Structure 1
Amino acid sequence: MEKKNMTRISTIHLLGFQTPENVKLLVFFIFLLLYCVTLCGNLLIITLVSYSKTLQSPMYIFLSQLAMSDIVLATDILPNTLRTVLVNDTILSFSDCLSQFYFFCATLIFDSLLLTVMSYDRYLAICKPLHYCLIMNHHCCCTLVIICWSLSFLTVLMHTLIIAQLQFCGPNIVDHFFCDLDPILKLSCSDTAFLQIEITLLTVLFDVIPFIFVVVSYVIIIVTILKIPSITGRKQVFSTCSSHLTVVYIYYGNLAFAYLVPSEGQLGNVTKFLSLSYTVVTPLINPVIYTLRNKDLKKALNIFLTNFCMCIAF
């Protein structure tokens, strides 16, 4: 076992993907394109929801917040990833590394909470339609969004402060393209048993319990939809939650695949590519799923593009 340097480390060396020189520029432009498309797609959703009078329902307000979270996640991960592609050994200060971990973890928790709230919104809309407007009013919608953001950032802040109190004595080399939890803890020479218990509790509170809530909600929703006598009616009702259900499947599927697959014996690049699924791919495809599968968004997009083209013409 490699003996750790007992000097407290102040910088982190991210190894990134160790891209061969002959494809380095190609990989860089691919990641740059993914970042630009992610920003444009999510900004488009925020713009449509903000300016379209037909997209002021709670479902679309929640969707705009999901888009904002995806922008934060992509901006937290991808710019530094672009740097690691060009410079294989990227140096970050330890505080910058913890900051990247903080925003990464906060957005993951926020996404989990928001997807749970969105499933509750769909449950009310489909199973309790007479009470929907009374319960899920504008005040309730805004309150739920604020609670999700506050819980996410405050919880991760406490968690990050605990990590910052650990002794990190090296080596300061992280074989990853961003500062994830496991690579950071591997640098610590402190006892992390208490922290592992805390991580387990946070996983149960912000991943397992929300996932169970979402599953139960959609079981009730599906049972309710199946009771609708008209096939056309079933399709219309199910179409209002199909996009959200797809995003839920992708979100929890990617997390489960990345974190539940044993890392023992995996090559470094395998772990990195698994991490790409929820740090890069998910923020990219979320706006694609909603804009392609939602008639209201497609209609608002057509109106927006028409007005935009008319403004340019005049």
Structure 2
Amino acid sequence: MANQKLMLGDYIWAKQLSGDEFDIPIGGKIVAVESSRVKIQDDDQKEMYISNQQVLKNMHVSSIKGVEDMINLGDLQEYAILRNLHKRYKEKLIYTYTGSMLIAINPYELLPIYTNALIKEYRNQNTEDLLPHIFAIGDNSYSNLKNSAKDQCIVISGESGAGKTESTKLILQYLASASGQHSWVEQQILEANPILEAFGNAKTVRNDNSSRFGKYIDIKFNKNGNIEGAKIEQYLLEKSRIVSQNEGERNYHIFYSMLAGLPKREKKAVGPTRRKQLRISKGRKSFNM
């Protein structure tokens, strides 16, 4: 940028100062210009001075406005992707496409975007005409299933606390509503989630309700597109948590629910209040379990 004149109102990418937590370029709008530096305002309305040597390049118009599908970003770099997601998140737009993939960011609050009215809005619609949404992913899979008569697969992945458990519930909610003919089978599938979470979710240092298991749910549809049944093909539990947890973490929810909710007679029958000792001697060390 040494040969390019910096103008008031321009949007630019600039290098971070050394010692910053994230060593990635930042974006901002120029609000003041001096001979050897400029003042920029970032998306959080914070202002800072940037030397001319820190300026990388002008921001592409797609990054200035933000895009719903990041394939359309003119600056297809990590820093541009992160800024686009951050910009949308501040506007409570937690869903963003990257081609056929949907990126979801946990809002840590309840948003009114999962109503039955929205389910109907996304049913059999061109997703390009609607905001990115997990219901669109559900509808694409369901429509492809009916039109092609071939199996479909939805992969939900992310780090702890990202919202994988909630996303799974929302996909199931959409699929259960898609046929328009609710049945007891569909209700059983939805109501199985709290049971699975009780036996497979635990508190970690990053998430109070973290799934400590992986599951592959196989949902069966008939020729009319109605759910006929479902089964869990794989259920991989973090078994080591049963006997040991890291500091600040807890065991699976079910143990605490039993202690809090079981009558005294049933507690005595299953024995959760009795501490059983299994002494294992190894050299001079012994362990109680």
For Structure 1 versus Structure 2, the TM-score category normalised by the shorter chain is under 0.3
Normalised to the residue count of structure 2, the TM-score between the two structures is: 0.24
Q: TM-score normalized by structure 1? A: 0.22
Give the number of the structure whose residues are more often strand, by fraction: 2
Greater relative contact order structure (CA < 8 Å, 6+ sep): 1
Structure with greater proportional helix content: 1
